[in-house]
C-alpha cells in the first residue's frame, strides 16, 4: 500500500525524515513517534502535498511526485489540527467535501448521511460545528476523510484532545473503518499503548528515522510469559526465591521483579516464567506443590509494546556504552507516552 525508500525531508534547520524505508501492507497500521518525530511530514509527502528532499515514495502503487492528484482521490486524510469552519453544520461541511471529491449532489448527500451516522453523529449534525465538543469535531474530521469511499485513510493523531472514554470510542471507530468497510488505515499517535489495541502493524519513527516496523502480534506474542505468585511458608520464608531457584534448576527461564510488575499488588513476589510451551504450566504447578507453597496466581501475560521497546532500548544502550558510541539516535526508544495510552 505504502512503500518508501530512503525518504528524506530536510528543512534548513531540521531533518524531519532521515532515509526512511518502510513497506506497509493493507490493514490498520500505527505510525508512532514523539512530537516532532516526522509523522505529519511523512503523511504530507505521501499525499503529494510536500516534496521530499530525496528518496522515493509510492502510495497504492502511485508515485507521490507525479500522481499526487490521483493519490488524493483514492486516499482520505484527517489532519491533526482543528481546521473546521465554525459556522456551518457537519452535514453542510461533509457534503461540500464530498462534492469537492467529485461525487454528484445526490450521492454526496447520501454518503454524508451514512458516514456521519457511522462516526456516531446524529441530530447534532445539523448544528453549527463551532458549538461541538472536541470529540464531535474529531468525528467530523474522520467523516470528511471517509466520505468519498477511499481505499486508504491517513489519520493524523485522531485521539488528540480526547478524554479516555472518547479515545476508546475513536479507536473502536478506526478499527471498524477497516473491518466494516475494508478501508486500510495509517494512524499516527505518540502513544504506543493505544496503537497496540487498534493496529495490525506498528511502525515506530524517532528523529525522522525508522526505529522498528513489525506486526503488533510479533511485538507481543513473542514475549509471552507466565506471571507466578506464591505464598511463603515456615519451611520457605521466601517462597518466591525458593520457587525461582527450583524452576531455574528445572531448566525454566525465570526473572523476578523489574519492568512488567507494575499493576501487581506485591511486585517483589511476582516471577515471570518464559512460556516456551504448554508443559510449562505443569512444571510450575508441580514445582510449587513439591515445595509445599500456595499458588496465589499463575496467569499468562503478553508484554505491552512499550515494554518490548524498553527492553530493546536497555540492550541497545548497553551495546552503545560498551562500544563507546553512545550516540544520539542509536538506542533511543520512541519517547512515547507509556503503555496504557492513558
Judged by the rule CB under 6 A, the positions of this chain that interact with ligand ATP are 11, 14, 16, 33, 35-41, 80, 157
Q: Report residue 74: phi and psi, to 5°.
A: -100, -10
3-state secondary structure of 231: coil
Pick the closer one to ligand ATP by CB: 37 or 185: 37
Pick the closer one to ligand ATP by CB: 13 or 263: 13
For the beta carbon of residue 342, count every other beta carbon within 10 angstroms.
11
Cα–Cα dist 123/222, whole Å: 46
Pick the closer one to ligand ATP by CB: 144 or 188: 188
Cα–Cα dist 29/184, whole Å: 8
- CB 155 → ligand ATP: shortest distance, Å? 12
Give the relative orientation of helices 134-146 and 164-181 as an angle to the nearest 10 degrees.
Answer: 10
The secondary structure element, H or E, covering residue 239 is helix 239-249
In whole angstroms, how far apart are CA 169 and each of 97, 194, 293?
24, 11, 44
Q: Tell me, what DSSP letter sits at residue 328?
A: S
- CB 18 → ligand ATP: shortest distance, Å? 10
- CB 160 → ligand ATP: shortest distance, Å? 8
- CB 210 → ligand ATP: shortest distance, Å? 13
Pick the closer one to ligand ATP by CB: 37 or 199: 37
Cα–Cα dist 295/264, whole Å: 15
- CB 148 → ligand ATP: shortest distance, Å? 24
Cα–Cα dist 75/71, whole Å: 6
Pick the closer one to ligand ATP by CB: 35 or 134: 35
- CB 80 → ligand ATP: shortest distance, Å? 6
Pick the closer one to ligand ATP by CB: 124 or 206: 206
Q: Report residue 80: phi and psi, to 5°.
A: -70, -45
| Helical H segments across 79-184, by residue range | 90-100, 105-118, 134-146, 164-181
In whole angstroms, how far apart are CA 205 and each of 62, 186, 296?
23, 14, 40
Pick the closer one to ligand ATP by CB: 157 or 307: 157
Q: Tell me, what DSSP letter sits at residue 34?
A: -
Residue whose entry in the numeric block shows the C-alpha cell 448527500: 109
- CB 29 → ligand ATP: shortest distance, Å? 15
Pick the closer one to ligand ATP by CB: 156 or 169: 156
- CB 14 → ligand ATP: shortest distance, Å? 4
In whole angstroms, how far apart are CA 308 and each of 179, 328, 338?
27, 20, 12
Residues 6+ apart with CB under 8 A from 140: 84, 90, 93, 94, 116, 119, 121, 129, 132
Pick the closer one to ligand ATP by CB: 11 or 122: 11
- CB 325 → ligand ATP: shortest distance, Å? 24
Amino acid at each position: 500500500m505504502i512503500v518508501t525508500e530512503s525518504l528524506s525531508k530536510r528543512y534548513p534547520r531540521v531533518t524531519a525524515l532521515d532515509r526512511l524505508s518502510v513497506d506497509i501492507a493493507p490493514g490498520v497500521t500505527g505510525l508512532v513517534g514523539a512530537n516532532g518525530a516526522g509523522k505529519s511530514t511523512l503523511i504530507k509527502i505521501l499525499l503529494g502535498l510536500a516534496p521530499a528532499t530525496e528518496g522515493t515514495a509510492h502510495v497504492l502503487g502511485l508515485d507521490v511526485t507525479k500522481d499526487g492528484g490521483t493519490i488524493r482521490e483514492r486516499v482520505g486524510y484527517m489532519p491533526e489540527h482543528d481546521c473546521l469552519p465554525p459556522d456551518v453544520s457537519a452535514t453542510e461541511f461533509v457534503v461540500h467535501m464530498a462534492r469537492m471529491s467529485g461525487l454528484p449532489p445526490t450521492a454526496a448527500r447520501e454518503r454524508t448521511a451514512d458516514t456521519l451516522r457511522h462516526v456516531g453523529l446524529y441530530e447534532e449534525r445539523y448544528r453549527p460545528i463551532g458549538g461541538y465538543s472536541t470529540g464531535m469535531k474529531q468525528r467530523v474530521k474522520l467523516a470528511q476523510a471517509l466520505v468519498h469511499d477511499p481505499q486508504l485513510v491517513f489519520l493524523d493523531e485522531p485521539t488528540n484532545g480526547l478524554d479516555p472514554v472518547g479515545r476508546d470510542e475513536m479507536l473502536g471507530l478506526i478499527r471498524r473503518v477497516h473491518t466494516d468497510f475494508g478501508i486500510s488505515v495509517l494512524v499516527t499517535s505518540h502513544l504506543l499503548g493505544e496503537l497496540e489495541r487498534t493496529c495490525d502493524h506498528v511502525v515506530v519513527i524517532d528523529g525522522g528515522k525508522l526505529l522498528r516496523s513489525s506486526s503488533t502480534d510479533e511485538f507481543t506474542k513473542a514475549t509471552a510469559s507466565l506471571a507466578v505468585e506464591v505464598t511463603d511458608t515456615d519451611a520457605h520464608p521466601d517462597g518466591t526465591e525458593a520457587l525461582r531457584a527450583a524452576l531455574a534448576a528445572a531448566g525454566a527461564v525465570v526473572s523476578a521483579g523489574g519492568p512488567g510488575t507494575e499493576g501487581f499488588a506485591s511486585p517483589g513476589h511476582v516471577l515471570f516464567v518464559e512460556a516456551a510451551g504448554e508443559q510449562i504450566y505443569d512444571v510450575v504447578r508441580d514445582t510449587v506443590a513439591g515445595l509445599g507453597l500456595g499458588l496465589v496466581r499463575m496467569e499468562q501475560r503478553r508484554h505491552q509494546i512499550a515494554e518490548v521497546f524498553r527492553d530493546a532500548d536497555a540492550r541497545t544502550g548497553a551495546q552503545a556504552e560498551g562500544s563507546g558510541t553512545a550516540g544520539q539516535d542509536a538506542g533511543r526508544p520512541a519517547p512515547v507516552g507509556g503503555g496504557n495510552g492513558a
